[in-house]
Structure formats: structure tokens, C-alpha cells
Amino acid sequence: MIKSNKIICALDLPDLEDIKRLVYSIEYDILYKFGMEFFYNFGMKGIEEVKKIKPNCKIFLDLKLHDIPNTVKRSIPPLLKKINPDILTIHASGGRKMIEEAVKITNETSLELDIKRPLLIGVTILTSLSQGDLIEMGLNEKLENYVLNYAKLSKNSGLDGIVCSALETRNVKKKLGNNFKIITPGIRILNSNNQDQARVVTPKEAFNNGSDYIVMGRALISAEEPNKVIEKIISEV
Ligand code: C5P
């Protein structure tokens, strides 16, 4: 049995009223993920509207920051000031300098604002990518090796954890320790459609492999009864 606060619901819907209805209807204490689709549609104001429904809800701001170090550095303070997220993502492929600048400014800004420092999490190889996709990009090493390299770089540069598929979780935890957090998207309930995801697992497999959080998008937000899906995940693991 796992706690509901290990489940992250990705609010990837095109209509803010539908999103608000979904958040209102969820009876469990879960995290909510605001990604690019949400942010570019509804912005900071949209997040505020969702917060009105669940004022204490935990926020996973999945904007996957990726740019030159200075630009990433300057983009973080306004996000902390205006949103105060619990988790924030940046691309590990931005490299050591970008990651270190992000860590530094996050620490400084959290102190200055007197807020809880968000977990800074590195995105490794997207769960929609397969080995074949990497080869097409000229990346000929094994996919797991890239994930592990990005994970090591993330840890050595000060990040709190990474996003990767649960297929790589065991290996990363073994090499980098249990305190290094792993967030796993690409979750599918048995017999559901993989859609554009390539490296998928069930919630049970993800937690058994050692993931700290799972991200549930379409398998949860498109369900007829989302609470039943959450209840099933909690009781099965
Ligand atoms: O609908 P589905 O469960 O596939 O949604 C997965 C969510 O997790 C999406 O919001 C996607 O942006 C996010 N995500 C991902 N792979 C990553 C990081 C985040 O699928 N590496």
C-alpha cells in the first residue's frame, strides 16, 4: 500500500473548466503537475485558479527548463515568487553549468523569499523515446547508459533527483543511492493504450522498481472515475 501523495496527476487538458472540475472531484491528497500545455494555455493565473480549489495542494511545475545558464538562472526567481512550486524540472542535457546555476539561484531565492526550497529535478531521456529514436539522432550508446550518465551529472551538479522511466529506476538507485529521487512518467494501467509513450510500466512495477513518484496523465485524467483509478493504485502497490 502506497500513500496517495506519491501520485502526480498531470493536468494536461485543453479546457481550464474541465481541469478545475477534475481537481475539485479528486478526493485524495495527490500532487498536481502543471506542464507546458497548462502553462502556455493558462499561465500563472490558471495555477492560481487551481490553487483556489485546493489551497494546500502540492505543485509539480514541469516546465523542463533548457537554455543557456544565464537564461535559466533568470527564469527561476519569478517562478518561485509567483508559483512557489514543490518540484521544478530542468533538462539534464543543459549540462553542468546550467544545472549548477539553477541550483544556486533556487537556493538563494528560496532563502530570500523564506519559502521551502523546491526539489530540483533533472529530465533525462524522455519516456517517449526508444533506442531507435536515439540512433536516429546519432546517439549510439545504450539508452540506459545515457540515463545513468544524466543521472550522475544531475547528482554531481546538485539536483535532488531525476525523471526517468521505471525501467531504469533500479539501476539508477543502485548506483546513486536511495535518497536520490526518481519521478516516473509513462505509466499505463494494464491493457490501456501506450499513445506516444515508448517506455511504459504499470504503477505497481514503477513503485516496485523504486520510483518515488509516478506521473499519471491520460490514464488518470481521461478515466471515467479518477478516484477509482487512484484507489486501485494505492491498494495494489
Ligand atoms: O498522458 P501521459 O501519462 O503519457 O503523460 C505523461 C506526462 O508526463 C506528460 O505531462 C509529460 O509531459 C510528462 N513527462 C513525460 N516524460 C518525461 C517527463 C515528463 O512523459 N521524461
Q: Are 187 and 214 in contact (CB under 8 A)?
A: yes
pLDDT over threshold 80, residue 194? no
Q: Nearest C-alpha to atom 10 of ligand 1 is from which residue?
A: 10
Strand partners, 9: 32, 216
CB atoms inside a 10 Å sphere around CB 152: 16
Distance from C-alpha of 155 to C-alpha of 176, rounded to nearest angstrom = 8
Q: Are 9 and 28 in contact (CB under 8 A)?
A: no
pLDDT tens digits along 45-101? 999 999 999 999 999 999 999 999 999 999 999 999 999 999 999 999 999 999 999
Given 3-state DSSP classes, what are the helix, strand and coil percentages for the chain, each rounded to the nearest 5? 50, 15, 30
Q: Are 217 and 12 in contact (CB under 8 A)?
A: yes
Sequence-ordered list of residues with C-beta below 8 angstroms from that of 128, at least 6 positions apart, any chain: 186, 196, 197, 198
Instruction: Report pLDDT for 59.
Output: 98
pLDDT over threshold 90, residue 200? no
User: Which stretch of DSSP H or E encloses residue 88?
Assistant: strand 87-91
Catalytic status, residue 64: yes
Mean pLDDT, the chain, integer: 95
**Entry pTM:** 0.94
What count of residues does the chain have?
A: 237
pLDDT tens digits along 133-156? 999 999 999 999 999 999 999 999
Average pLDDT of span 209-221: 95
Catalytic option among 58, 64, 104, 232 = 64
Q: What residues does ligand 1 touch, defined as CB less than 6 Å away?
A: 10, 12, 35, 62, 123, 126-127, 163, 185-187, 197, 215-219
Instruction: Report pLDDT for 191.
Output: 62
Q: Are 230 and 220 in contact (CB under 8 A)?
A: yes
Q: Are 7 and 214 in contact (CB under 8 A)?
A: yes
Which of 39, 62, 65, 164 is the pocket-test mutation for ligand 1 (most atoms within 8 Å of CB)?
A: 62
Q: Nearest C-alpha to atom 20 of ligand 1 is from which residue?
A: 185
pLDDT tens digits along 23-38? 999 999 999 999 999 9
Q: Nearest C-alpha to atom 8 of ligand 1 is from which residue?
A: 185
Average pLDDT of span 16-21: 98
Q: Collapsing DSSP states into helix, strand and coil, what is residue 178? A: coil
Distance from C-alpha of 194 to C-alpha of 136, rounded to nearest angstrom = 21
